[in-house]
Chain A
Amino acid sequence: MEVKSQQYPELARKILRQTPQVREAVTRAALHFDHNRQTAYAEIDAAFWRQWAEAVKNHVLTHLDHYLELAEQRLAARGVRVHWAETAEDARRVLRELVRAHGVKRAVKAKSMLSEELGVNPALEALGVEVFETDLGEYIIQLAGEPPSHIVGPAIHRNLEEIRRLFHERLGTPLDAEPDALAREARRVLREAFLSAEMGVSGANFLVAETGTIALIENEGNIRLTTSLPKVHVALVGIEKLLPSLADLAVFLQLTARAATGQRIGTFVSLIQGPRTEAEPDGPEEVHVVLVDNGRSALLADPEAWEVLRCVRCGACLNACPVYRQTGGHAYGWVYSGPIGAVLDPGLLGLEATLPLPFASSLCGACFEVCPVRIPIPKLLVTWRQRAVAAGLASRPEAGAVRAYAEVMTRPELYRLFSKALRVFPGALEHPVLPVVRAWRAGRSGLKPSPKSFRELWEEGAV
């Protein structure tokens, strides 16, 4: 996927102006998710389990080499072929080889953000493979030719009317079809795909090292079909997705579902431990796990930014984020959007390619409050901002203004003069010559200093 994060301000403005229904749809859906999360968190000792989850993830990440080796060994022992992909291209190469080896003409895919990151669909399509997204939301946006706009609800930005029109145009359903009828039509198309595809591609919510278990959470059942009907199943797994044991998994499954959608657990949980054995009637003949780095180990080595790798992609921070809710995910210009995107994207793609994402936040802290693995997103945002400034990536006038402001504020007599000047020439704020004042006044009125500063009142004995 092309990185357009540098265009965040323009993209955000455009979405707000040209498609106001996005703001409405995203706000409604995200608040709904967030409300459900609150209810689901309230049933458990959320503070305790979040801390526990943070500790487990920290443990895995600080012993990642050990757990990766263990996972590889256990997977191999169960007949899974393990591939290592250092880059996106490496991962695509594995897919290409499998497509060629098995003469794949059709592939079904379970929703996977990593596959968006790796550009799996265009890579498969370039080989002449017909790719079907099988998650309903993901299928909708595939029909629309769009990337997902939310980690969990990829089509969260679309309202029913738009989906009706889209299905009418692409699948010929009536313009007034009820949601049920739309889902039924999608199911009909996808059922054919499931039965004829030679390859199923999925991501992984977790990979349990001790047992070599791929864990997948879903609500629709399409992941189950994707991973069991075609004769080849390929799971794309980011190396940060590891958990030590099944006992850990038991809690992470619940915590993730609660954070994501407010469910106690996903409707379907698949635990995959290898290809079909002789005693089993169904399941794939081959299972491949591609362990993907693509910038993760470098990020892990970054002492100030690595914590972002705890992320379990539940989307809770997006739902809680009032900045994200105004525009949805497309403004962020890459796969991962919202607060997590603003700190993960610079970590994976580099700061220059993703500025100003770390500035796309008011630092309100709602994201940190909800994150099941307690990623200190506001702190990380400030870290990336500090790096941007230290690297000279801030605009020169801004840097100059902040330097001048710090000088004034550490010289009380100068500050005093300034304060006086503001009252002698209150016009300075009335006539928006200063860029900051001008930006402020576009959309807000009445920025008037008090007739006398507090300092003056105090010194005159008026207080």
Chain B
Amino acid sequence: MRVALFVTCLGDQFFAEAAADAVRLLRALGVEVDFPRDQTCCGQPAYNAGYRREALQMARHTLRVFEHAEYVVLPSGSCTATLRAFYPELLREDASAYRAATDLAQRTYELSEFIVRVLGVTELGKGLEGRRVAYHHGCHALRELGLREEPLTLLRNAGAELVDWEAAEECCGFGGLFSVKLPEVSLAMADRKLDTLPAPDLLTSADGGCLLHLAGRLEHRGRSVPVQPLASVLWEAHRGG
């Protein structure tokens, strides 16, 4: 099985090691991984901010890059949702591009989703034995992709203890440009997440943007909770056990 990794711009720039861990994990699960070199950004920030023309331009670019991929896998819930839900919407007025977009949508998966739903793997190893893990559900993964149990199952089966977190499914307030357009509201939302966060050994999520925002806020508030992208945590689950 061949997978084209869409590392996403944030992954490429800010979570390079986690993206590498995603590759290591996929290979360890017997998957061949490609990295189409012309890939850049899915265009989500432009789409969310109302820049339809620019988002469309980026959607067409990404469609071309992944045209022939058997599967596209992303270490990001919200970018997966962009390809899956928003590309068809953006391209609805162009019949052939629309077909290409819905076709791509069917081959596109977030990493943990791919592992559980496509590979049918729910046990990666026991590398998280005894770790108390807090999982932040990115909104798009949760509501656009309907991903709730997949990442949790993988973490739990690797021995992690998932901590009870009242606000685990609440938006962290990142929201792309929202976090810089309305900073006070965005930070108040992050604070609500962090105020209700128990003291876990580790905070993780399938969404890099949320993690940058939450980790940045944690550090600003002088609280230290190790923050690690899901791809790295899953690789540790496998490698460590």
Which A residues fall within an 8 A CB radius of B? 9, 12-13, 16-17, 23, 27, 322-323, 325-327, 356, 358-366, 368-369, 379, 382, 384-390, 394, 398-399, 402-403, 405-406, 408-410, 412, 415, 419, 422, 435-436, 439-440, 442-458, 462-463
Q: Given A326-B185, A362-B189, A458-B35, are A443 and B220 neighbors across the interface (CB < 8 Å)?
A: yes
Within 8 Å of chain A (Cβ to Cβ): is B135? no
- Residue pair A412, B185 in contact (C-beta under 8 Å): no
- Residue pair A362, B13 in contact (C-beta under 8 Å): no
Residue pairs across A and B with Cβ atoms less than 8 A apart, 11 shown, are A362-B178, A363-B175, A365-B140, A385-B50, A406-B46, A410-B61, A412-B38, A440-B216, A450-B14, A451-B16, A454-B19
- Residue pair B13, A322 in contact (C-beta under 8 Å): no
* A462–B35 alpha-carbon span in the complex (Å): 13
Contact pick for B54, options A359, A369, A402, A453, CB 8 Å: A402
CB distance from A130 to the nearest CB of B (A): 39
Contact pick for A363, options B178, B182, B189, CB 8 Å: B178
- Residue pair B216, A322 in contact (C-beta under 8 Å): no
- Which residue on chain B has the smallest CB distance to residue A383? B50
Within 8 Å of chain A (Cβ to Cβ): is B129? no
* A212–B177 alpha-carbon span in the complex (Å): 48
- Residue pair B143, A444 in contact (C-beta under 8 Å): no
* A369–B170 alpha-carbon span in the complex (Å): 13
Give the residues in chain A near B186, CB-CB below 8 Å.
Answer: 362
- Residue pair B216, A453 in contact (C-beta under 8 Å): no
Q: A402-B46, A443-B220, A454-B12 are in contact. List 5 more A-B contacts (CB 8 A).
A: A369-B143, A403-B51, A410-B58, A436-B177, A443-B183
In residues 49-77 of chain B, which contact A (Cβ within 8 Å)? 49-52, 54-55, 57-58, 60-61
- Residue pair A410, B192 in contact (C-beta under 8 Å): no
Within 8 Å of chain A (Cβ to Cβ): is B41? yes
Give the residues in chain A near B192, CB-CB below 8 Å.
Answer: 27, 322, 325-326
In residues 162-217 of chain B, which contact A (Cβ within 8 Å)? 170-171, 173-175, 177-189, 192, 212-213, 215-217
Q: Given A363-B175, A455-B12, are A382 and B17 neighbors across the interface (CB < 8 Å)?
A: no
Within 8 Å of chain A (Cβ to Cβ): is B91? no
Within 8 Å of chain A (Cβ to Cβ): is B23? yes
Most buried by B among A9, A23, A362, A399: A362
* A446–B216 alpha-carbon span in the complex (Å): 6
- Residue pair A362, B16 in contact (C-beta under 8 Å): no
Give the residues in chain A near B189, CB-CB below 8 Å.
Answer: 322-323, 326, 362
- Residue pair A386, B16 in contact (C-beta under 8 Å): no
In residues 1-54 of chain B, which contact A (Cβ within 8 Å)? 7, 9, 11-17, 19-20, 23-24, 35, 37-41, 43, 45-52, 54
Within 8 Å of chain A (Cβ to Cβ): is B219? yes
Within 8 Å of chain A (Cβ to Cβ): is B236? no
- Residue pair B139, A389 in contact (C-beta under 8 Å): no
- Which residue on chain B has the smallest CB distance to residue A384? B50
Contact pick for B171, options A364, A440, A449, CB 8 Å: A364
Give the residues in chain A near B219, CB-CB below 8 Å.
Answer: 444-446
* A213–B57 alpha-carbon span in the complex (Å): 52
Within 8 Å of chain A (Cβ to Cβ): is B144? yes
CB distance from A30 to the nearest CB of B (A): 12
CB distance from B240 to the nearest CB of A (A): 19
Which B residues fall within an 8 A CB radius of A? 7, 9, 11-17, 19-20, 23-24, 35, 37-41, 43, 45-52, 54-55, 57-58, 60-61, 89, 139-140, 142-144, 170-171, 173-175, 177-189, 192, 212-213, 215-217, 219-220
Question: Looking at chain B's contact residues, is the secondary structure mostly helix, strand, loop, or mixed?
Answer: helix
- Residue pair B178, A463 in contact (C-beta under 8 Å): no
Q: Given A369-B143, A449-B13, are A409 and B43 neighbors across the interface (CB < 8 Å)?
A: yes
* A415–B40 alpha-carbon span in the complex (Å): 7
Give the residues in chain B near A388, CB-CB below 8 Å.
Answer: 50
Give the residues in chain B near A462, CB-CB below 8 Å.
Answer: 20
CB distance from B59 to the nearest CB of A (A): 10
Give the residues in chain B near A359, CB-CB below 8 Å.
Answer: 49, 178, 181-182
* A27–B166 alpha-carbon span in the complex (Å): 13
Closest 8 CB pairs of A and B: A385-B50, A362-B175, A444-B216, A364-B171, A450-B16, A406-B54, A364-B139, A439-B180
Contact pick for A454, options B11, B40, B182, B216, CB 8 Å: B11
Most buried by A among B13, B187, B219: B13
CB distance from A271 to the nearest CB of B (A): 37
Contact pick for A447, options B9, B48, B173, B216, CB 8 Å: B216
Most buried by B among A12, A365, A462: A365
- Residue pair B48, A363 in contact (C-beta under 8 Å): yes
Give the residues in chain B near A323, CB-CB below 8 Å.
Answer: 171, 173, 185, 189
- Residue pair B16, A365 in contact (C-beta under 8 Å): no
CB distance from B193 to the nearest CB of A (A): 9
- Residue pair A409, B35 in contact (C-beta under 8 Å): no
Give the residues in chain A near B7, CB-CB below 8 Å.
Answer: 454-455
* A405–B182 alpha-carbon span in the complex (Å): 21
CB distance from B82 to the nearest CB of A (A): 11
Give the residues in chain B near A412, CB-CB below 8 Å.
Answer: 37-40
- Which residue on chain B has the smallest CB distance to residue A444? B216
* A322–B169 alpha-carbon span in the complex (Å): 11
Q: Given A362-B173, A447-B212, are A382 and B50 neighbors across the interface (CB < 8 Å)?
A: yes
Give the residues in chain B near A23, CB-CB below 8 Å.
Answer: 188
- Residue pair A362, B174 in contact (C-beta under 8 Å): yes
Contact pick for A449, options B14, B23, B216, CB 8 Å: B14
Q: Given A419-B13, A443-B217, A450-B16, are A364 and B46 neighbors across the interface (CB < 8 Å)?
A: no
- Residue pair A363, B40 in contact (C-beta under 8 Å): no
- Residue pair A453, B139 in contact (C-beta under 8 Å): no
- Which residue on chain B has the smallest CB distance to residue A362? B175
CB distance from B120 to the nearest CB of A (A): 25
CB distance from A460 to the nearest CB of B (A): 11
Give the residues in chain A near B220, CB-CB below 8 Å.
Answer: 443-445
- Which residue on chain B has the smallest CB distance to residue A12? B185
* A398–B177 alpha-carbon span in the complex (Å): 10
Give the residues in chain B near A326, CB-CB below 8 Å.
Answer: 185, 188-189, 192
- Residue pair A389, B175 in contact (C-beta under 8 Å): no
Q: Given A327-B185, A443-B217, are A361 and B17 neighbors across the interface (CB < 8 Å)?
A: no
